[in-house]
Amino acid sequence: MTHELRVAAASDPGLMREQNEDAYFAGPDLQAVADGMGGHAHGEVASGIAIDVLETFAGDLGAAVAEIARRLDLEAPEGTGTTLTAMRWNGLTFELAHIGDSRAYLLRAGELIQISHDHTMVQALVDAGRMTPEEALNHPRRAYVIRALQSGGSHEPDITLHEAKAGDRYLLCSDGLTDYSSIEDVGEVLASVEDGEEAAWRLVALANGNGGPDNITCVITDVVKRRWYQRY
């Protein structure tokens, strides 16, 4: 193998929530963020089920998400829901499963790119040309999710394949970060803080510094070129 993945994570309830309804996994071949849907009973139950399934499910992410939906129907209270953004790696290729308004970003050559697509009402309006991205940033219902994993009625996730390069940095995060931090500030932290764990906690501090009313979770994956040393 010519590369390795270095993974770090940080999660915080934020300044106004007593309970953290986010859940995450930060393993060597799988990273995921699930955000229990605010306003629904037992959101932490749904996000916990999602991460529990991913930890133990060896199949592809599409099959894993179907299993999450089945488990939610069996075990979670009616209407309980969660977002999910997950990456499963095979060498430098990874499968991305995404549903809801948690996000996945790629930092490559100094440019930060969102590689997931929000499943929200305002994003649908932007896609239809009825709202500008700038208007969506401040819309009072920007957090209204129209696709999620939910007991009694889950939706299908987006499943995409991506090819990574050495030097890439990936961020998975809940909307507690992106709703209360500018993308420019997020990109500046990711580009300037080399250590993944420090960068993740800097992002948490960034959102909390802006009021942080929601749970905040960040998982950072660095694709690092492995150095080979010849022995004599």
Q: pLDDT tens across 60-102, in order? A: 999 999 999 999 999 988 888 999 999 999 999 999 999 999 9
What token pair was written down for 230? 């010849």
**Residue given tokens 């009694």 in the structure block:** 152
Q: Domains in the chain, ordered, with CATH? A: 3-225 (3.60.40.10)
What pLDDT is stored for residue 51 in this prediction?
97
Q: What is the dihedral of CA 56, 59, 62, 68, to 10 degrees?
A: -30
The answer to which of 24-38, 134-148, 207-221 has the lowest mean pLDDT is 134-148
- 36 pLDDT band (50/70/90 cuts)? very high
Pairing status of strand 84-90 against strand 93-99: antiparallel
Distance between CA 148 and CA 156 in Å, rounded?
8
Secondary structure of residue 163 in the 3-state scheme: strand
- Is 80 exceeded by the pLDDT of residue 204? yes
- 105 pLDDT band (50/70/90 cuts)? very high
